[in-house]
Structure 1
Amino acid sequence: MFEVIQQLKTQINNLELRYWYEQDVFSPHWWVILIISALFVLLLCLLIDRQRVVFIWLVFFISFLLAGLVDEFGTYFGLWSYPHQLLIFTSRFNTVDFSIIPVTITLVYQFFSKWSFFLIAHIIVSAIIGFIGVPLFVHFDLYQLNQWSYWNSFLTVLALGMIVKLISDAIDQYKHNKTY
């Protein structure tokens, strides 16, 4: 059974690579993904707090890892899919997981450190992503909702941001309480 699964995975990978190489790479969709990703990373670089640059980048990487894990779960179980990829060998470098969600969570964390302000700002950002951003990505065929909804997207982004804040605050607290 394991060998059959591996053979099927190899066939799927070969088909995906062929599709990406023949129809996706350098297509208008591919360029949109590249440009949006670059713009969001540039936005983070321009707005990052220079006094806390290392810690804020840590928040970004925590956001990136958690968004990637959630995405792996969702794509594995067929909840959503991406018809177009920036890089074929990993789905973590799609626009949503690589730039939009991690950058917005990171910037909200940076600008709103108190929980009450963070929560208000993050609810607004999550609603914008879930009810405006996701529908736009669906409309432009960058994202497909298979067994998923805009409401679920909103709740997932909201939960992700709160988990990132909890983890980041715990690391920051540990860093400040550590005695040398």
Structure 2
Amino acid sequence: MNYPPFEEILDLQYKLAEYRKQYWIEHDLFTWQWWLLLLVFIIPWVIWYKVIPKEKKAECLSYGLLLGFLASQLDEIGINSGAWAYSYQLTQLNRGLNPYNFSFIPVAYMIAYYYFPKWKHFILANVAIAILAAFITEPILTKMGIYKTFYWKSIYSFPIYILLPIIFRFLMYYILEHNKRENAT
């Protein structure tokens, strides 16, 4: 198989980064979509700050940051595999939708994590968030020209939006329980 040398790949990556930066400056920055993404990034954190009590902020934040990190990684996988792309970005630093990955999604799940301590209610809240995210927010982002899917469908996102918060809640509960046992001895 004939493939380009590593230096040529690096050169193409540098050019692509420059093209993306120029595109962002000339196409994204200060458009109404950019302002919307800025609000989507800021408003959930303001809500989070007001509705999560001080004594639970660290626990909820740990849970939410785990979710945000994984959402960001899954977003990169989707972008790299050609499942979707974003026509507008808040910053040009990466290709994922950071306001969604690090604000909207984790804050929604942190609020559910805090307000629904019983598993049944927590799962129902996650289903509601999954419906909102997959079947309302994603299509709205598509109509606004921010999100463009290629072979991905919202129905594929739906179970992911339900399962990930449940998995991370198990993980958080395990860590917290393990920590309690460690401190008790």
TM range (shorter): over 0.9
**Which one of 44, 47, 64 corresponds to residue 43 of structure 1?**
47
- Residue equivalent to 2:121: 117
Deviation of the 1:93 alpha carbon: 5.6
- Alpha-carbon distance between aligned partners in 2 of 1:166 and 1:70, rounded to the nearest angstrom: 20
Letter in 2 for 1:142: I
The 5-angstrom pairing of residues 1-180 of structure 1 reads 1-92=5-96, 94-179=98-183
Identical aligned residues as a percent: 25
Q: TM-score, normalised by structure 2?
A: 0.91
Within 2, Cα distance between the matches of 1:70 and 1:107? Answer: 22
Letter in 1 for 2:157: S
* C-alpha spacing 1:28/1:58, structure 2 compared with 1 (3 Å): same
Asked whether the 8 Å contact 2:71–2:101 carries over to 1, the reply is yes
How many aligned residue pairs are there?
Answer: 180
Task: Quote the offset at 1:91 in angstroms.
Answer: 3.7
Contact 1:37 1:95 in 2 (8 A): yes
* 1:144 partner SS: strand
- Of structures 1 and 2, the larger Rg is shown by 2
Against the structure 1 CA distance between its residues 107 and 130, is the aligned structure 2 distance closer, same or farther, given a 3 Å change threshold? same
Offset of residue 35 of structure 1: 0.9
Question: TM-score scaled by structure 1?
Answer: 0.93
* Structure 2: gaps (5+ residues): none
Instruction: Please give the alpha-carbon distance, in whole angstroms, between the structure 2 residues aligned to 1:146 and 1:169.
Output: 37
**2:147 is matched by which residue type in structure 1?**
Y
* Paired amino acid for 2:34: W
Query: Within 1, Cα distance between the matches of 2:180 and 2:154?
Result: 39
Q: In structure 2, what residue type is equivalent to 1:166?
A: F
Give structure 1 stretches of 5+ with no counterpart. none
Aligned 8 A contact 1:63 1:106 in 2: no
Distance (whole Å) between structure 2 residues aligned to residue 91 and residue 150 of structure 1: 19
Q: Which amino acid aligns with 2:108?
A: T
Q: How large is the Cα RMSD of the aligned pairs?
A: 1.4
For the residue of structure 1 that corresponds to 2:90, the secondary structure is coil
Q: Deviations over 1:21-43 (max 9, x none)?
A: 11211111110100111111111
1:97 deviation in Å?
A: 0.6
Shift of 1:73: 1.1
